[in-house]
Amino acid sequence: MSTRRFPTPPQSRRVLLGRALALAAGLAFALPAAARAQPAPVEDQRWAFTTTFGRFHTDNFFLISPDAPGDSIDSLSVSLLYGRTGERLSISGNGRVSGNYYETFNQYNQLNYGGGLGLSYRPSRTSSFAFSQVASSGFYAPLLINLGLFLPQIRTEALQSTLVATWHPTPRTTLTGDGNFSYLHYDSDLSTLDPALIPHDALVLAGAVPPGQAEIGLAGLPTPLDATLVVLTALSAEGVRRQQLNLTTFRAGFQAEQALTDRLSAAVQIGYRGLDYGSPALVNGGQLNSGASLRLALDPKTTASLRYTFERNTAQVPAVSTQTALLQVEHDLSPRLKFDASIGIGFSDQTGAAQASGTSWLGGAGLAGRFRRTRWDVRYGRSVYQAFGFGRNYLSDYASAFVEHTFLKRLSGRVEAYYRRSQDVFAQSFFFTSQIYRGSLTYRIQRRTMVGGFYSYRVVDQGVAVPVIHSSAWGFSISYARAFK
C-alpha cells in the first residue's frame, strides 16, 4: 500500500479554501427546510460546545481485499456551534477540528477541520431566503465512527455555497429559485473508489443531526450538517474512476408550485448544472434537469402523487438522457403507523451509441411505525441514477430496516440492516452488492455526557472476478456537550 502524502494543492486552491475557512466554512445545513421553516417569534441566541473521544477497531482496514490487515484508530474532536434566531433572521455558525491516530498505519495520522456559516431571512410575510457557505478538509471522525468505517486512503477538500429563495405571490402559488457553487478535490491511493465501500445514503445511516448538534435547543434554527456527509453521498452515488479529481460545479434552478384546488396541487421545475474539471484532457459539460408533478389528497390520511422527470447530461460522452415516471401513494394506517408505495418506469439511453439501456421498472414500498418506546422502519426500492460526469449511471435495488428501542430513561439501542445492488445501465458487466449489519447502544451518564458502543459487519461483492470482502468493526465513544447563552 502506498504511503505517499497528500499532495500540496496549487496556489489557487489554497487561496480558495483559505478564504472559505476564514468565513467559518464547514457544516452545511438543510437549506430547503430552512427556507420553509418559521423563525422563532422571540429572539434568542445560544452557544454549544461538544467534544468527543472514540476508539475504533476493524479487522479489514483498507477494504480492498479479503485478507487486508486490521488496525485500531483513536480520534478526538472538538466543535463549537453558535445559533441566533429572531422574528425574521436566523443565523448559525460552526467550526470543528478532529484528529485521528492510527496504531499501526501511523503514516495516515492527520488533522481534519472545517466550519460553516449560514442564515435564513424573511424580508416579508411572503418571501424568504437561506444561504450557506461551508467547507471542509478531511473527514469528520465522529461521523465516520457512526457509519462504521474509516477511509484513510481517501482524502478530500470541499467548498460549497448555496442559496435558496422562496416567494408566495398568492396564497396558492409558491415560486422557488436556488443556486449552488461547489468545489471538490479528491485524492486516493486507490486507482478507483468502489462505491460499495461507502453507504448508499450516508444521511440516513448517520442520522439527520450530527453528534452534539441537537443540544443547542433553539427552535427554528437551520439544522447544520457536516460537509463530510455531502462528500460521502456524492462519492457513493457517482463511483469515482480516477485517483485524483478537481471538480468545480455550479447549479441554477427554478420551481413553481400551484394549488389548483383544496386537494390538488401541481408543480414544474427546471435546473441546469455545469462542471469544470480544470483539465483539457477531461470533458466539461452540463446537465439539464426538468420535471412536472401532480399531488392529490384523496382523504385526510391518504395522498397520491404522479411525477415525471427528464435529465440530459452532456458532461458524458456520448450524451446520456434519462426519463422516469413514478406514481406514489402515502397512507396513515394509524397515528403511529405509516405506509407508502410507488411504481414507475425509467429509461436511459446514450445518444448515438451502439449500446443503450432499455426500460426498467422502478418503485418500492415502506412501512414505518412507533409503539411506546420502540420505533421501526422497513423499506425496499429501485431507482435509476444519472451520474454527473465522472462516475457511473446506476440502476439500484436497495433495502433497509431498523428497530430502535429505549430500554430505560437513559439507555437506548438500535439494530439495523442495509442492502444495495447496483449495476451500470450501459456497462452491465459492472455491478456490485453491499450489505451492512449494525447494532449499537447509547447511555446518557448525565445531562451533558454520553457513552456509546457499536458493532458492524459488512459484505462487499464486486462480481465473479473479484473475491467477496468481509469486514467487522467495533468501537466506543464518549462525548460531552454543553449549551450556554
pLDDT tens for the 485 residues of the chain, in order: 333 333 334 443 443 334 333 333 333 333 333 334 444 445 788 888 889 999 999 998 887 788 888 999 999 999 888 888 888 888 888 898 999 999 999 988 989 998 888 888 999 999 999 998 888 998 887 777 777 777 787 888 988 899 999 999 999 999 999 998 988 888 887 766 667 777 666 555 544 444 344 455 666 666 556 677 777 777 777 766 677 778 788 999 999 999 999 999 999 999 998 887 766 655 567 889 999 999 999 999 999 999 999 999 887 767 889 999 999 999 999 999 999 999 999 998 887 666 666 789 999 999 999 999 999 999 999 999 888 777 788 899 999 999 999 999 899 999 999 999 988 888 888 888 989 999 999 999 988 899 999 999 999 888 767 788 898 999 999 999 888 88
Predicted local distance difference test score (pLDDT) of residue 236: 75
Prior bond of 318 cis (ω within 30°) = yes
What pLDDT is stored for residue 249 in this prediction?
85
Question: For position 35, what pLDDT does the model report?
Answer: 39
How is residue 202 written as a grid cell? 450516508
Report pLDDT for 5. 35
Q: What's the confidence (pLDDT) of residue 150?
A: 75
Could you give the count of Cα atoms lying within 13 Å of 150 in the half-sphere of its Cβ?
Answer: 32
CATH number corresponding to 11-484: 2.40.170
Q: Are 73 and 149 in contact (CB under 8 A)?
A: no
CA pair distance 262, 300, nearest whole angstrom: 12
Measured CA angle at 267 (ends 265, 273), to 5 deg: 160
Task: Using alpha carbons only, give the angle 253, 256, 259 rounded to the nearest 5 degrees.
Answer: 160
Question: pTM of the entire structure?
Answer: 0.81
Ramachandran quadrant class, 63 (left: phi over 0; alpha: psi -120 to 50; beta: rest): left
Cβ pair 378, 367 in contact under 8 A: yes
Of all helices (H) and strands (E), which one includes residue 274? strand 264-276
DSSP lists the bridge partners of residue 83 as 46, 92
Q: Tell me the one-letter amino acid at 298.
A: L
pLDDT at res. 201:
62
How confident is the model at residue 282, as a pLDDT? 55
Bridge partners (DSSP) of residue 158 are 136, 184
Three-state secondary structure string covering 424-450? ECCCCCCEEEEEEEEEEEEEEEECCEE
d(CA 397, CA 105): 36
Distance CA 343, CA 327 (A): 5
Phi, psi dihedrals of residue 468, rounded to the nearest 5°: -70, 135
Question: Would you call 7 exposed, middle or buried from its count of C-beta atoms within 10 A (0-12, 13-18, 19+)?
Answer: exposed
| Sole residue written with cell 468545489 | 183
Phi, psi (deg, nearest 5) at residue 27: -105, 120
Which residue, chain included where needed, has cell 451509441? 353
- Are 118 and 130 in contact by the 8 Å Cβ rule? The answer is yes
Cβ contact 143:231 at 8 Å: no
> What's the burial of 63, exposed, middle or buried (CB within 10 Å: 0-12/13-18/19+)?
buried
Letter for the amino acid at 20? A
Domain boundaries, the chain: 11-484
**How many C-beta atoms surround the C-beta of residue 185 within 10 A?**
23
Contact 251, 73 (CB under 8 A): no
